[in-house]
Structures are given as structure tokens and as C-alpha cells.
Amino acid sequence: MSSNRSLEPSSLSLNDLPWQIRYSNDRCTLCGQCTAVCPVKAIELDVFQKRIIKTSIQKDKDHSNQYDTFYGIRQTTRVENACIGCAMCTMACPNDAIAPVKNPGLDRLKFHVNQQGVPRRRGGRRNSSQSVLDRIKFTRISMLTDPALDAGRHEFEMRTLLGRVLSPRENMKRLREKGWIPPVREIYPLIIGGMSFGALSPTMWEGLQMGVAYLNEELGMPVRICTGEGGCPPRLLRSRFLKYVILQIASGYFGWDEIIHAIPHMKEDPCAIEIKYGQGAKPGDGGLLMWHKVNKLIAAIRGVPQGVSLPSPPTHQTQYSIEESVAKMILSMSMAWGFRVPVYPKISASSTSLAVLNNLTRNDYASGLAIDGEDGGTGAAYTVSMDHMGHPIASCIRDNYLNLTKIGKQNEIPIFAGGGIGKNGNLAANAAALIMLGASGVQIGKYVMQAAAGCVGTEEDRCNVCNVGICPKGITSQDPRLYRRLDPEDVAERIVDLFVCFDTELKKIVAPLGRSTSLPIGMSDALGIDDHAAAQRLNIKYVV
């Protein structure tokens, strides 16, 4: 396919682009569906000329060149319209005439994408498919020494606790002295992590909520979903389904006016309140909803002007230390709901997470800690943050859990892990590994988008335009022409399938361990890995 590139500074050669369009003019019927569906306008209709090769006899008679003119599809070489490899053109084409192909050579686009002095932002996850979680094996198998369980016949209680878990004696003492005991929720260990109403499209968000409601109401699985920063629709705040929702408050406080005003009218308390201080995909940085996605509805819910970018500060502006944060945020949120709702912070994984956890153990109102590892997904982050900052989740969870065991509080403060869980499709195995390393449960976000809505983004920098609202599948777009491609009932059905399949696989893992009535939290003697350094770091068996 001819490039016919211009000499503009913003243009490249086709060989410099990460994705190249393979196009067959013989099969194409010029229906225009591929150009209509392309989210970045990487292809366009054009006129081509092909020189007709003459025989030697014809050359003697006529020395002029002759050309065959025809219409076809051309790939643009402009940097701002570079193909993202989403393959929507292939899905739309009725004749299999077009497809994106990964460029096997050097991707030189990375040297040119920082135009007008603005570093590149993108959605998705890190450009790395490696995961230490995928290398962990479950090596403790009960056969003759311990009674093994049959995953298909035994009944299992695959639930965990969210909240500060005290002994009956401690609870009675606190009730006598303070007239209050810590609230605790019994939930499913797989939580749908924070993806805001704004970051996700209305149809995607509605489908998730419908799926969660069905899992709870019909299947009896206490699945919970976090709203992410930005509030949620008022009708959800005033419905009985709010008890399945974790409300998140972040440093931008977007949408919290609506939530506070709705408290007197709530029929049910929310499951919990999550205070977001950081996220694994861009640790130390605040949230960002770009102006492309701030439509009239989102602006109304968040209480901001329409069409402006909404950045959250890197930290809550009224707190300048861990102690102050715990004292102010956690206590004030607990008071707002009459101390009936668990409140916990969410931080990005880092070497300072131990300091945060130690302060939480000394605060009576802290209900747990959520830690988001470096492989976490995001709606908008600078590439340099996503690819080069952060802390792996496995070692961070392990450090925090071992610290709790030293002070005797491993059964009191739950830790929830997030960031890259199931990024290569091994959701149940990754979750079980983290639980045995010390997590009480796991949070997933990107996996939900891929499994429930067909997200085409990958860790090889395919698609990943979540941040600018042109999601070709309609998952992260506020454009009705795009999000109408997504049926919320289909999303809900796939969410139910996801959790039922996860439940089956999790039982297949814990049954040989002889566990049926509780999760194997911290059961690290069941784990092994074929890397000696990793085994020492995680304090698990080295196996080859």
C-alpha cells in the first residue's frame, strides 16, 4: 500500500508507525464502514494511480505511460492520526479487506508524539505483559496427609470481611466504654474497583450496576462495586441497591455535594467509604477526567462547568500528614453515617505503605487498607508515570501482611490488593496468590472492561485511548454515537458470567488445600515460585 506521505513535520513514514494497515483493494467494495468507524481517522478514501506495464511491442508503438485509476483506502501518516490497532475497521468490514498489523520493526512514533511540548497521555496499563503473579504456583496439595475436598461436591464459603474485625471480648469492651463497635461487612473477595461515572460511559456503568444487583439478589453472591471518584446518579443514592456500592471520595471531592445532600434520603447505607489517596497507574499523581468526557450530565453530578478538564490534586489539600489524614478524613466520614459504615483509605503501592498501615492500626475508626500496584489501569495518565513509576503489588502486600503478623493484628485489619490482577487472563490464580500472600480480597478494573465489554486495549500499546473519550467499543466514551454500541444488558450478563466462572476456579484452587469455610488468607506455605530471588523476597518456597 502506497504511503504518499506529505513533507509536513507532523507526518512520518508508514514504516515508522507502530501499526500498519493491510488493505486488499480486490476485496474492498468501498462501503465506507471502515473509515466511518475508525476512532482516530487513521484511514481515508483516496484515489490511486497504477502504471500499466506494456509489452515490448506496445512500447515501440507508444512511448507514453498509461495509468489505471481506482479508488481505495489509504492509511494516513500524520502523527495525531496514527493507527492505534483497535481493529474496529476489521470488525466493520463485510469482506475481510482490511486489518491492522503490528509493525515488527522499530516504533519511531514514540519520538514524535510529544507535540507542542505536551507529553503523551494514554489510558490502559503499562506497556509490559510480565507479571510475577503468573509465575506463582500452588504447591501444597492435600491427598493422603490431609483430607482433600471435592470442588464440585463440597459447599464452600468464599467470603471475606471488610471492616475492623475484633474479638467478642474487645467488641464488648468497646461497646461498654464508647457505645459503639466497628462496622463489618461480609463481602465477596473479588471487588469491582473504582471506575467513575464519567470515566466509564453511561451504558457501561449501568451494565455493571445491573450485573452486581443480579449477583446479589438472585445468586446470593455479596459482590461489591466501587464508584470511583465523581459521585454517582442521584437515583442510585436513593435506592436499595446502594448497599452493594462502595462510595469513593478523592482529593477533588467531585460529586460529594450530591452525596452529602442525599444522606438523609438514603434507604440503605453504602457498603463502605473508600478515601482515595493514590492509584497504582500514576502514583503520587492526582486523578484526571479530560474535558472530552465532561458533558452536561457529568458536569451536573460533579458540580462543575461543562467542557473543562477535571484534575484532582495529588493529595487532599486539608491534610499534610498521615496522622492528620486519619484523624480528619476517616473520622469525619464515619461520623457522616453515624459510625455504621466502614471507612478505609486507598493508596498506591510504595515503600511508604508500611507507615500508612502502622498509623491505621492505631486508629479505632480505620476499617482496612486498599493498595493499588504499579500495573493498575487508568483513564488518563502520562506515559512516563505509567511505565516507570510504582511498586509491584505482590511484594507490597507481603510486606504489609508480615508487618501485621509481627504486631498481632493480621486478623484485625484487612488489606485489599489491586493493580494488574488477571492482566494476562489468569484472574483466579492471581487473586488466590495475593490472598495467600496476605490480602483479604482483590480489586479489579481493567479486567472487567476486557471481559464484560470487549475492551481491545492491551499492554502492547494497542488502542488505549480511554482518556480522550473516543473508545471504539463505547466503554469509556460520553459520546452517544459511541456508547450506544454497548448494550448494558449484555454487560450485566457478562459480569455475572465472570463472577460465576471466577468462583468455580477459586474453589478449584482452595479445595486441594482442604479449605472450605474460610479463605486461605496468609497461607503462604501453599505457594512456590521458580525464581530464587523472588522466593526469598516473598518468603515463599523456591521450586524448580
Q: 256-308, pLDDT tens digit by residue?
A: 999 999 999 999 999 999 999 999 999 989 889 999 899 999 999 999 999 99
Instruction: Check the CA dihedral 278-281-283-288 and report its sign.
Output: negative
Q: Report helix, strand or coil for 44.
A: strand
* Other beta carbons within 10 Å of 534: 17
User: Binding residue per annotation — 89?
Assistant: yes
Domain extent for 41: 14-118
384 and 450, same domain (yes or no): yes
Q: How many CA atoms lie within 13 A of 267 on its CB side?
A: 10
Q: 321-373, pLDDT tens digit by residue?
A: 878 877 788 999 999 999 999 999 999 999 999 999 999 999 989 999 999 99
418 forms beta bridges with 372, 443
pTM of the entire predicted model: 0.92
- Residue 7: pLDDT over 50: no
User: Binding residue per annotation — 83?
Assistant: yes
Cell reading at 417:
490488593
For helices 202-217 and 446-453, what crossing angle results, to 10°? 90
**Cα–Cα distance between 360 and 358 in angstroms, integer?**
5
183 and 68, same domain (yes or no): no
Looking at the domain assignment, is residue 307 inside a domain?
yes
Rg of the chain over all Cα atoms, to the nearest angstrom: 26
pLDDT of residue 183: 96
pLDDT of residue 56: 62
User: Binding residue per annotation — 463?
Assistant: no
Looking at the domain assignment, is residue 499 inside a domain?
yes
Average pLDDT value for residue range 40-57: 83
114 and 172, same domain (yes or no): no
176 and 262, same domain (yes or no): yes
Pick from 118, 143, 170: which residue ends a domain?
118
Q: 174-228, pLDDT tens digit by residue?
A: 899 888 999 999 999 999 999 999 999 999 999 999 999 999 999 999 999 999 9
Looking at the domain assignment, is residue 148 inside a domain?
no
Looking at the domain assignment, is residue 142 inside a domain?
no
206 forms beta bridges with none
107 and 164, same domain (yes or no): no
**Residue 122, Cα to own-chain centre: how many angstroms?**
13
402 and 351, same domain (yes or no): yes
98 and 209, same domain (yes or no): no
- b/e 347-368 (16+ beta carbons within 10 angstroms → b): bbbbeebeebbebbbebebbbb
pLDDT of residue 4: 43
- DSSP annotation of 304: S
Which of 52, 49, 53 lies closest to 70, judged by CA?
A: 49
- Check: CB of residue 387 under 8 Å from CB of residue 127: yes
Domain count, the chain: 2
What are the Cα distances from residue 87, in Å, to 19, 66, 203, 294, 379?
Answer: 10, 36, 22, 27, 20
- E strands of 386-526, at which residues? 415-418, 441-444
- Check: CB of residue 289 under 8 Å from CB of residue 199: yes
Task: Outline where 283-426 has alpha helix (H).
Answer: 296-302, 322-325, 331-336, 353-361, 383-388, 393-406
Looking at the domain assignment, is residue 400 inside a domain?
yes
**Cα–Cα distance between 455 and 46 in angstroms, integer?**
30
Distance spanning both ends of the chain, measured CA to CA: 49
- Of 106 and 152, which is predicted with more confidence? 152
Task: Outline where 122-182 has alpha helix (H).
Answer: 168-178
User: Binding residue per annotation — 31?
Assistant: no
